[in-house]
Structure 1
Amino acid sequence: MSYDAIIIGSGPNGLAAGIHLAQKGLSVKIFEKSDTIGGGTRTQELIQPGFYNDVCSAIHPLAKASPFLKSLPLEEYGLEWIQPEVPVAHPLDNQPAGALFRSLDKTIDHLGQDGKTYQKWITPFIDSWDELLTDILAPFSPIPNNPILMARFGLKALRSANGFAKRYQTKKARAVFAGIAAHGIMPFDDIATAAIGLVLGTAAHTVGWPYPKGGSQAITNAMAQHFQSLGGEIETGVEITSVDELPESQTILFNNTPKQILDIAGKHLPQSYAQKLQRYKYGQGVFKLDFALSDPIPWKDELCRKAGTVHVGGTLAEIAISEKQSANGKHPEKPYVLVAQQSLGDNSRAPSDNHTGWAYCHVPNGSTKNMTKPIIQQIERFAPGFRDCIIDMHSMNTKAMQSYNPNYIGGDINGGRADITQLFTRPTGLFDPYYIPKTNMYIASSSTPPGGGVHGMCGYHAAESVLRRI
């Protein structure tokens, strides 16, 4: 058979591209190397029967906010969002934890003397959230849809996380911002590292930091079923090592990173373009732990016991040191740890009266060091007795992460380093970063704008690029 489009990889971006093309009446087939679809959006019984852990992505503010995903009838295919009582909490030594609440007023009150400062910078973005996301989750444009709003956002977002945090007076407010900004997996002195803190901070008061009932796989399953309802085809268990192996098609889309594209299609790429892909930079990796727990994590602070996400790492200064060390090839003794506790609001994740835990820290790309002890020590620091709750656990270093998902080169879950040199130009340039010149091929992965995250917008924009040409 021949197709209008073939997509390699069934992660959220591959599925989003397939859905958008199928919506326009094109015949589309997706090939997936693994036996299950989803890429970084899968849920498995990693530890023991009945404990369902998210293998990579877990908490999904950008999936809930995504302009494309929210246009799809995914709830009709079983997707159900769970909103934790507290979107994100941040424990501190010898003082109450910091947190962001869905309610802006409650957050302002919680931040005390920094509440008014917080209100001043975040209110304009809350009021214009949908308009802002239209430009943020899109490729670079010299004339954005909302130029004044984007200029206002850019003046703040292009600052370093350290520089932006200085506007706060208290350790609590600075730590909360640091924990959110560290999702960018970049040293805090780098330009534009404030951006992710601003986006995810705003999300807490608009769409929240929800997670899908049953696990991240629910997002994948809903997207796949909708894709198939539009006539799309998916074939699993097929590794594509060369584009020459593919059926005839007008268009090929890669839900892959530059390194893989070079392996699969290198001889078909213009030499100058291939050289640009070879220069593409990957970021830090992650070391991940999944837990089967007898009880909820026994946080000292009650706010943390109500949160879907807990950022563990202490003060702004401590987190900044941890992120700088991992970026410089070192393994922090006190790493910044992202913790998710979905079973608090979703009893389908674990057997009766038991719970799951999800945690990872940042490490140098390609690291094989076992970070189990430092991660548990950091959690135990703010949740004494945590070790006694562990029934069993499962670990993944950067090599295991890449084996699980070949897009995670060296454990990089963001599809490439998101510093200022690649933030707007990933993977090779500013204008139409999805189209591979002089070919019928396109890139639809998180190695294109707007980058990492389960939002499907990389795939959507790649499909738009296809539709302009096909």
Structure 2
Amino acid sequence: MTGIDAAVVGTGPNGLAAAVTLARAGLRVELFERADDIGGGLRSKALFDDDVMHDMCAAVHPMAAASRFFREFDLGARGVELLNPDISYAHPLDGGRAALAHRDLSATCEQLGPDGERWRNLMQPLLDHSAGVVDLVLSGRRTLPRDPLAPLLLAGRVLRHSTSLGGFRGEKAAALLTGVAAHAMGRLPSVASGAVAMLLGHLAHGSGWPLPRGGSARIAEAMAVDITAHGGLFHTGAPVTDLRQLRHAKTVFLDTSPKTFLALAASRLPARYARALAAFRYGPGAAKVDFLVSEPIPWSNPAVGRAGTVHIGGTHAEIVRQEAFTARGVPTGEPFVLLSDPTVTDPGRARPGRRPVWAYAHVPNGDTRDPIPLVRSRIERYAPGFGDTVIAQRAITAADYESYNPNYVGGDIGAGAITLAQSLLRPTPRLDPYRTPLPGVYLCSASTPPGPSVHGMSGYLAALSALRREFGVRTAPVLAPAVTASTR
């Protein structure tokens, strides 16, 4: 390990993004992954059948199509095809009804009746300034926005929907927006959930909510190829349990939770900073179920079967009530569920009579309940007979998710509660949220700004910070394909 410029601990999307950036700046980079394969939240595996791939964590990737890091990295030019369904997400309701978020904004508005123009007025200005809105939300919260209109457009909408996610005459539009806000995994409504609703909501009609052809692992593989091409070296099955293992590296980048950082650093951290990390709050958990099914899901409303993502939570009022229980740590039998049938968007994922289905339930942090009966009953409410199509099933509880990936403390796949304070000041209040008090040590996980999702921005911004401070590199490396490790 002698002579390493940068050691990266963890190979989730942010660890990989940091390594891409550092390697392209000409640094000697080595990555350390406790698991036997890389990717973190971007892993795909054959669980029940060698020919059918299941995404282990993230499956749908609006941020991989929209974030600054991935726009510059250009997945498409690297052979990663992001496939968009015509319906980004659907929200089934009782009685065979459903609200549908089409890629086409006009088509969405047409089926919302009297709320159609309200939906258009909410989303169209964000679409007109989408790159600026995305760059603002996916920033380190410490720089001026590139598009000065973006904060103005967001502020009013976020504040309006931080007090009421309703404001619509009909049930469909209210449920459609509330289901997106629930991605914040916390009490509804809130400022944080309003921001999530505006970001993800407008992207559904813009760059979309795509799935990578062949599975999420394709994104990690493309990043790993670029890192290796620029001299990076991977160590898998190589857990780091103490920062002293990396003492020969000039800089260290931790794609880890604050809890893991505390364990790695032991008593080396200043007491005040260590207390702040220990006080970092984690959000509700996710419990995941993977199904192998024999046929498409028999939705009561067939249009739901054309969506890449399905929100199962009922009406606006039902979702708000359920997410409040979950945030308080109260288990119920009717959790909010996110579901994806990837074969809808990527038919090549299926084999005759066999297709994967992916589902997450929002549950209290650390929940130990088997989520299979919970998730199956939620799907059956809107797709009677679903159980008859199930060939095999596998569950991971919220409590077990932390064993699978230590960043998911108690099953919190967002790596920290999505609140206003923690969105702005995660993981602690510092001018540079990536730099730690330890010389040359940087945090780059989703526990730093801009937070969760597969966007790579936490790793990218942490790498830029270190390049300036530790190596005197003040221009960002070019990330586009077929470019050598030189800087702009």
Change (3 A) 1:430 1:112: farther
> 1:43: which partner in 2?
44
Cα displacement (A) at 1:374: 2.0
The residue aligned with 1:61 is 62
**Are the equivalent residues in 2 in contact too, given 1:90–1:311 (CA < 8 A)?**
yes
Number of the residue aligned with 1:373: 373
Distance, in Å, in 2 between the alignment partners of 1:233 and 1:257 is 23
Instruction: State the shift of 1:82 in Å.
Output: 1.3
TM-score by length of 2: 0.93
Measure, in 1, the Cα distance between the counterparts of 2:143 and 2:460.
20
Q: Offset at 1:167?
A: 1.8
2:150 and 2:359 map into 1 onto residues whose CA distance is 35
Q: Residues of 2 paired with 1:337 and 1:217: CA distance?
A: 23
Q: Measure how far apart 1:51 and its partner are.
A: 2.3
Residue 20 of structure 2 is aligned to residue 19 of structure 1: yes
**CA shift at 1:156, angstroms?**
1.9
CA contact (8 A) 1:9 1:39 kept: yes
Residue in structure 2 matched with residue 133 of structure 1 by the alignment? 134
Identify which range, 245-254 or 219-228, moves more after superposition: 245-254
Change (3 A) 1:286 1:438: closer
List runs of 5+ in structure 1 lacking aligned partners.
Answer: none
Does structure 2 retain, via aligned residues, the 8 Å contact 1:159–1:193?
no
CA distance 1:179–1:189, change in 2 (3 Å): closer
Q: Deviations over 1:94-131 (max 9, x none)?
A: 25210111111111112111011111121111000011
1:250, CA displacement in angstroms?
Answer: 1.2
The 1:430–1:232 alpha-carbon spacing in structure 2 relative to 1, beyond 3 Å, is: same
Q: State the distance in 1 between where 2:336 and 2:281 align.
A: 23
* 2:273 pairs with 1:269: no
Give the corresponding residue for 2:115.
114
Q: Which amino acid aligns with 1:114?
A: D
CA distance in 1, matches of 2:233, 2:187: 42
User: CA–CA distance in 1 between the matches of 2:60 and 2:38?
Assistant: 19
Q: What letter corresponds to residue 134 of structure 2 in structure 1?
A: L
Q: 1:175 matched to which residue of 2?
A: 175
Taking structure 1 as the reference length, the TM-score comes to 0.97
> 1:232 is aligned with what amino acid?
G
Deviations 1:244-267 (A, max 9, x none): 112511110100010000101132
Hey, what does 2:473 align to over in structure 1?
Answer: none
Shift of 1:195: 1.1
Q: Which residue of 2 aligns with 1:290?
A: 290
Alignment of 1:448 with 2:456, yes or no, is no
- Cα deviation for residue 73 of structure 1 reads 4.0
- How big is the shift at 1:366? 0.8
Q: Counterpart of 2:181 in structure 1: which amino acid? A: A
Any stretches of 5+ residues in structure 2 without a counterpart? 471-488
Residue type at the aligned position of 2:99: G
More displaced stretch, 421-430 vs 267-276: 267-276
Quick one: which amino acid aligns to residue 412 of structure 1?
D
Amino acid at match of 1:264: L
Q: Is the 8 A contact 2:165 2:174 kept in 1?
A: yes
Check the 8 A contact 2:10/2:255 in 1, yes or no.
Answer: yes
Amino acid in the other structure paired with 1:403: S
Mean CA deviation greater in 94-103 or 197-206: 94-103
Structure 2 counterpart of 1:145, one-letter code = R
Q: Is the 8 A contact 1:13 1:445 kept in 2?
A: yes
Distance 1:227 1:158 in 2: 41
- SS of residue in 1 equivalent to 2:5: strand
Shift of 1:157: 1.8
What is the one-letter code of the residue matched to 1:99? L
Residues 48-197 of structure 1 aligned to structure 2 (within 5 Å): 48-141=49-142, 143-161=144-162, 163-197=163-197
Residue 438 of structure 1 and its aligned partner are, at CA, apart by 4.9
User: Could you tell me how far apart the structure 1 residues matched to 2:161 and 2:114 are?
Assistant: 23
Q: How far 1:47 sits from its partner (Å)?
A: 2.7
Deviates more, 1:366-375 or 1:172-181: 366-375
The SS at the match of 2:267 is: helix
For 1:360, the equivalent position in structure 2 comes to: 360
Residue 10 of structure 2 is matched in structure 1 by 9
Percent identity, please: 39
Task: Read off the aligned partner of 2:416 and give its amino acid letter.
Answer: G
CA distance in 2, matches of 1:465, 1:269: 20
- State the partner residue of 2:343: 343
State the AA in 2 paired with 1:209. W
Query: Does the C-alpha gap of structure 1 residues 200 and 167 become closer, same or farther in structure 2, counting only changes over 3 Å?
Result: same
Q: Deviations over 1:376-416 (max 9, x none)?
A: 11111111110000001000001221111111110000010
Amino acid at match of 2:298: P
Residues 1:256 and 1:158: Cα distance change in structure 2 (over 3 Å): farther
Over 3 Å counting, the alpha-carbon distance change for 1:129 and 1:267 in structure 2 is same
- Name the aligned partner's letter for residue 74 of structure 1: L
Matching of residues 318-337 of structure 1 within 5 Å: 318-337=318-337
What is the letter of the counterpart of residue 257 of structure 1? S
Partners of 1:19 and 1:95 in 2: how far apart?
47
Letter in 2 for 1:38: G
Code of the residue aligned with 1:51 in structure 2: it is V
Across the aligned residues of Structure 1 and Structure 2, the Cα RMSD in angstroms comes to 1.5
Deviations 1:23-64 (A, max 9, x none): 111111111000000001100112333221111101000111
Q: Which amino acid aligns with 1:468?
A: R
Secondary structure in 2 matching 1:366: coil
